[in-house]
């Protein structure tokens, strides 16, 4: 398989009347190994107790998978650690683990959750599985493992039973929505939009499950999508090159880049306008959220002011605030570009701007390079983006 980016998205909602969801969804990318690991755990019942048990299960499952522990060994430890419901004689938490490498090879472990399903080339696919009896735990239970390969454009769908059992007891769905009908719904949405994102598809599935329950969730609901595809690349240019005779190199990198380009910094924008013979048009009538206004340039997705704007972006990312709860402005437009792209390349100029060394300026006005490092770390650690920083 050629270059592959694995997009992961999920949506969840707690059972009506609860303040916290009893499902837990974790994902981790191991860049050095080219792996993407996704874990979904469903705590028995709902509310705080279910969330605690699901959190314990998901954390253990993720850590065992990261250390390449055999699935059977890991499952036994998890089940021995968690309590067992004394009445129903079942584990207090279920889990699904998807461990995918850079070639699309997936190792799957399932315990108690609805089976994962795959939408591949217009067809529903359920992988062959090996059934393992866990007889060394308090209650004999079964674990299912599988190994298979997926291709670009396929979707892996994993969900808690709140999704598949939605609508249960109604005249139209006496036994619930069920995986086959859910996947027919998924197939219709993918056929209507082959590029639909993992997050958007998760939104639609969750919305349909809520509709099945008359907009009142009768159980915790979680849906996750794994979507391997071509990476979407974004080039972020900020700061003028260290040597002025490198301005042409900067312009050529922008001209030849195979993706969208974001320019942060007035001096950087002026260099590109001069070298590429393009005009800068200010957006004086748009929202700014207290920042200098954005601008446009032919062939450039967005042009903004430099250090103040990227500083605001770094604050939003550090605080897990994607900007959705604030007014619109240049920082929010940058955040949207980050959300919409997978591989983000920062081309950072190293010419010193004397204005940023003025001690009278606010303390939070950090040097450009430091801010970019903060942004890149947040994008990788919190949002599973691939980043690269090049200095010029």
Q: What is the pLDDT of residues 149-173, one digit of tens each?
A: 999 999 999 999 999 999 998 888 9
pLDDT at 384: 81
Task: Name the band, by pLDDT with cuts 50, 70 and 90, for residue 321.
Answer: low
Domains of the chain from N-terminus onward = 5-229 (3.60.40.10), 233-391 (no CATH)
> Is residue 323 over pLDDT 80?
no
| CA gap 21, 42 in Å, rounded | 9
Task: Name the band, by pLDDT with cuts 50, 70 and 90, for residue 284.
Answer: confident
How does pLDDT run across 22-65, given as a tens digit for each residue?
999 999 988 888 899 999 999 888 899 899 999 999 999 999 99
> Is residue 1 over pLDDT 50?
no
Pairing type for strands 233-238 and 260-264 reads parallel
pLDDT at 44: 84
> Is residue 13 over pLDDT 80?
yes
**Residue 67 Cα to chain centre, angstroms:** 22
Residue 5: both structure tokens together? 């980016």
DSSP, res 230: P
How does pLDDT run across 218-263, given as a tens digit for each residue?
999 999 999 999 889 999 999 999 888 899 999 999 999 999 999 9
pLDDT at 279: 94
Task: Name the band, by pLDDT with cuts 50, 70 and 90, for residue 318.
Answer: confident
Task: Name the band, by pLDDT with cuts 50, 70 and 90, for residue 75.
Answer: confident
Residue with tokens 């195979």: 258
Radius of gyration of the chain (CA): 24
> Is residue 326 over pLDDT 60?
no
Q: Comparing 11-15, 162-166, 236-240, 362-366, which segment has the lowest mean pLDDT?
A: 362-366
Q: Comparing 49-53, 225-229, 272-276, 288-292, which segment has the lowest mean pLDDT?
A: 288-292
**Mean pLDDT, residues 268-274:** 95
Q: Comparing 75-84, 257-266, 342-351, which segment has the lowest mean pLDDT?
A: 75-84
105-111: strand order across its sheet: 23-30, 35-43, 93-100, 105-111, 141-149, 130-134
CB 201 within 8 A of CB 224: no
Give the burial class of 148: count Cβ atoms within 10 A of its Cβ; 0-12 exposed, 13-18 middle, 19 or more buried. Answer: middle
Task: Name the band, by pLDDT with cuts 50, 70 and 90, for residue 362.
Answer: very low
How does pLDDT run across 90-145, given as a tens digit for each residue?
557 899 999 999 889 999 999 999 999 999 988 888 889 999 887 755 566 788 99
pLDDT at 387: 93
How does pLDDT run across 187-227, given as a tens digit for each residue?
999 999 988 989 999 999 999 999 999 999 999 999 999 99
Report H helices in the chain.
47-66, 71-81, 161-164, 179-192, 198-212, 247-256, 266-276, 307-318, 330-340, 368-383
| CA gap 119, 100 in Å, rounded | 16
Give every CB contact of residue 227 below 8 A, 6+ residues apart in sequence. 6, 7, 8, 9, 154, 155, 156, 197, 198, 201
Residue 3: both structure tokens together? 């270059």
Q: Comparing 17-21, 253-257, 322-326, 374-378, which segment has the lowest mean pLDDT?
A: 322-326
Q: CB neighbours (10 Å) of residue 373? A: 17
pLDDT at 139: 60
Of 82, 99, 102, 125, the residue nearest 40 (C-alpha): 99
| CA gap 128, 310 in Å, rounded | 48
CB 62 within 8 A of CB 10: no
Q: Is the pTM of this model over 0.75?
A: yes
Pairing type for strands 280-282 and 295-297 reads antiparallel
Give every CB contact of residue 5 below 8 A, 6+ residues apart in sequence. 228, 229, 230, 231, 232, 342, 343, 386
Residue 65: both structure tokens together? 């998978």
> Is residue 361 over pLDDT 60?
no
DSSP calls for 77-126? HHHHHS-B-TTT--BSEEEEEEEE-TTSEEEEEEESSPPPEEEETTEEE-
**Mean pLDDT, the chain, integer:** 87
Give the burial class of 240: count Cβ atoms within 10 A of its Cβ; 0-12 exposed, 13-18 middle, 19 or more buried. Answer: buried
pLDDT at 358: 55
Neighbour-count burial for 272-299, b at 16+ CB within 10 Å, e otherwise: bbebbebebeebeeeebeebebbbebee
Q: How far apart are the first and last CA of the chain?
A: 33
Give every CB contact of residue 333 below 8 A, 6+ residues apart in sequence. 294, 302, 304
> Is residue 331 over pLDDT 60?
yes
Of 229, 292, 306, the residue nearest 263 (C-alpha): 306
> Is residue 364 over pLDDT 50?
no
């Amino acid at each position: 398989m050629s270059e592959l980016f694995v997009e992961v998205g999920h949506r969840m909602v707690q059972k009506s009347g609860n303040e916290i969801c009893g499902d837990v969804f974790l994902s981790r990318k191991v860049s050095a190994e080219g792996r993407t690991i996704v874990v979904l755990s469903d705590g028995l019942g709902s509310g705080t107790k279910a969330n605690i048990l699901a959190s314990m299960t998901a954390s253990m499952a993720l850590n065992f998978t990261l250390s390449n522990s055999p699935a059977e060994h890991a499952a036994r430890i998890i089940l021995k650690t968690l309590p067992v419901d004394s009445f129903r004689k079942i584990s207090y938490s279920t889990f699904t683990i998807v461990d995918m490498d850079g070639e699309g090879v997936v190792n799957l472990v399932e315990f108690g959750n609805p089976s994962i399903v795959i939408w591949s080339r217009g067809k529903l696919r359920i992988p062959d599985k090996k059934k393992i009896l866990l007889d060394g735990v308090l209650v004999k239970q079964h674990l299912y493992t599988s190994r298979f390969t997926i291709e670009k454009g396929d979707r892996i769908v994993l969900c808690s039973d709140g999704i598949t059992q939605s609508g249960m007891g109604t005249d139209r769905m006496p036994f619930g929505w069920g995986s086959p009908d859910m996947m027919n719904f998924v197939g219709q949405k993918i056929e209507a939009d082959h590029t639909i994102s993992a997050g958007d598809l998760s939104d639609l599935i969750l919305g349909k499950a809520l509709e099945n329950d008359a907009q009142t969730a009768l159980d915790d609901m979680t849906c996750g999508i794994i979507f391997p595809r071509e990476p979407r690349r974004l080039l972020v240019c900020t700061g003028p090159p260290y040597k002025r005779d490198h301005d042409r190199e900067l312009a050529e990198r922008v001209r030849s880049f195979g993706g969208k380009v974001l320019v942060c910094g007035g001096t950087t924008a002026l260099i590109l306008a001069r070298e590429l013979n393009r005009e800068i048009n200010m957006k004086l009538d748009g929202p700014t959220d207290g920042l200098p206004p954005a601008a446009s340039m032919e062939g450039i997705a967005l042009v903004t002011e430099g250090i103040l704007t990227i500083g605001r972006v770094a604050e939003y990312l550090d605080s897990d605030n994607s900007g959705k709860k604030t007014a619109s402005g240049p920082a929010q437009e940058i955040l949207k570009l980050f959300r919409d792209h997978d591989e983000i390349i920062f081309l950072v100029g190293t010419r010193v701007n004397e204005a940023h060394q003025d001690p009278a300026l606010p303390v939070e006005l950090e040097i450009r390079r430091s801010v970019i490092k903060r942004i890149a770390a947040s994008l990788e650690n919190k949002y599973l983006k691939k980043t690269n920083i090049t200095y010029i």
